[in-house]
Chain A
Amino acid sequence: MNDTVDVTVNGEPRAVARGATLLELLESLALDPRAVVVEHNRTIVRRPTLGAVTVAPGDAIELVHFVGGG
């Protein structure tokens, strides 16, 4: 019984709890959902629905925010 699934977060392999939602993933990474934008398999997931989307094996998740730039 494996209680984690393998996904890719920001290009890096990462094991997350099986059945975890995107919101729980952010919590496990100590990220404020208001401060990041989540892209799940190339689709933007809006903040109110982060708790409704479950992470599945092989998912590609991007967590982005604003940084200094010109």
Chain B
Amino acid sequence: MLDIPFTIGGRSFHSRLMVGTGKYRDNETMARAIDASGAEIVTVAVRRVDLDRTKEEGVLYHLDAKRYFLLANTAGCYTAEDAIRYARLAREAGFNEFIKLEVIGDQETLLPDVQGLLVAARTLVAEGFKVLAYTNEDLVTALRLEDAGCAAVMPLASPIGSGLGLLNPFGVRTIKRRLKVPVVVDAGVGTASDACLTMEQGVDGILMNTALAEARDPVAMARAMRLAVEAGRTAYLAGRMPKREVAMPSSPLEGMLD
């Protein structure tokens, strides 16, 4: 079955799985897990250089810039102003004009501040950024982000790092149905079945980090996630059977013995 190309901001990708680079026990495990995931889009964060340990290898040392498309984020930003500042710094680092925009509104849940998100999205779009906006599963916010010119909208499955899976399939499905820009579920996927169920909603892709980094075997989990994303996407395209409240025999009723 032929799938449509997965295109964000004018760039096409084969893999619908995007992965983060945070929280791995070591860089070598990270690199092997990302390899096993088949992901092409890999997220990174912008932080101060550690001036006391400048000999330490940075995360980029372990990622082939020719193979992976680096997507910087504004993780940790609580205001539109901060997120804009981080996005500009990320672009200056020289990889591309794409930014995964996060404006966090609450420390405990890391849920987005949708007002700050919209302000930052409009400013960054006007500056030529391709904005992938991390948001909640609220349709109206997603529509506003699309109107603001975002290249993709990224509703959460559940809170960042929670691993609670897809809590609101209806909300995510509705966003996908109503938006024209790609919808990529970001955050909350915990295991392969979560990824499969998420892709079965028809969304364009999934971004995950903790589910791989905190798995007992991140490399094996990365492979499971790759298969789950493919399985969920293929099942969505195949079109599932209708649900019924009664049984329907699978074997013929005719030809039974007297």
Chain A interface (Cβ < 8 Å from any Cβ of B): 9-12, 29-31, 35-37, 39, 42, 44, 46, 62-70
Contacts and interface: CB of A to CB of B under 8 A. Distances in A.
B73 interface: yes
A36 B49 contact: yes
Contacts of A29: 51, 54
B138 to A, nearest CB: 21
B37 interface: no
Contacts of B72: 66
A69 B43 contact: yes
Contact of A68 (B59, B92, B187): B59
B48 A68 contact: no
Given A37-B89, A46-B92, A66 B48 contact: no
Nearest to B92: A37
Contacts of B24: 68
A22 to B, nearest CB: 13
Contact size range, B:
35 or more
Contacts of A35: 58, 60
Interface in B191-232: 207-210
Interface of B is mostly: mixed
B209 A70 contact: yes
A46 B93 CA distance: 9
Interface of B: 20-24, 30, 43-49, 51, 54-55, 58-60, 70, 72-73, 75, 85, 88-90, 92-93, 160-161, 187, 207-210
A3 B93 CA distance: 32
A29 B51 CA distance: 7
Contact of A31 (B21, B54, B88): B54
Nearest to B49: A63
A64 B73 CA distance: 13
Given A65-B46, A68-B59, 5 more contacts: A66-B59, A68-B45, A69-B20, A69-B44, A70-B75
Nearest to A14: B51
Point out which of A29, A46, A69 has the most chain B C-beta atoms below 10 A from its C-beta. Answer: A69
A64 B21 contact: no
B48 A62 contact: yes
A11 to B, nearest CB: 7
A30 B93 contact: no
Contact of A70 (B46, B47, B73, B85): B73
Nearest to B24: A68
Contact of B48 (A64, A69, A70): A64
B92 A11 contact: no
Given A46-B92, A70-B160, A70-B210, A64 B51 contact: no
Point out which of A12, A30, A36, A68 has the most chain B C-beta atoms below 10 A from its C-beta. Answer: A68
Contacts of A42: 85
Nearest to A39: B89
A11 B187 CA distance: 31
Nearest to B211: A70
